[in-house]
């Protein structure tokens, strides 16, 4: 829809608004670019991976606690242990 202006003051006001919107958009692009650059830095990448691993471990532990699941440690059988068991019998 085309806007009709009654005087030059209205035109100047709208032009000023458009210029300010343009400046805001440029600053937003700069901020977004810097955010992307920071998120792709090695330190940030490692921190994100570490956080994800810690979060996953916390969730698994919470679910296991809620469900009452306990972790059973496997024990390797040794020949000496078998011999000791036979001696006791």
For residue 73, being part of any structural domain is answered with yes
- Tokens 């979060």 appear where? 55
Q: Are 65 and 71 in contact (CB under 8 A)?
A: no
For residue 31, being part of any structural domain is answered with yes
For residue 4, being part of any structural domain is answered with no
What is the full per-residue pLDDT of the chain (89 aa) written as tens digits? 888 999 999 999 999 999 999 999 999 999 999 999 988 888 888 888 899 999 998 888 888 888 877 666 666 666 665 555 555 55
For residue 1, being part of any structural domain is answered with no
For residue 2, being part of any structural domain is answered with no
For residue 3, being part of any structural domain is answered with no
List the domain range (segments joined by +) for residue 63. Answer: 9-88
Q: What's the domain count of the chain?
A: 1
Measured distance CA(5)–CA(75) in Å, rounded:
86
């Amino acid at each position: 829809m085309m806007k009709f202006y009654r005087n030059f003051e209205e035109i100047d006001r709208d032009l000023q608004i458009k210029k300010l919107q343009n400046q805001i958009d440029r600053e937003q692009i700069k901020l977004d670019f810097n955010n992307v650059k920071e998120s792709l830095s090695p330190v940030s990448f490692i921190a994100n991976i570490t956080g994800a691993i810690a979060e996953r471990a916390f969730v698994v532990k919470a679910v296991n606690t809620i469900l009452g699941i306990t972790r059973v440690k496997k024990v390797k059988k040794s020949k000496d242990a078998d011999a000791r068991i036979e001696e006791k019998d």
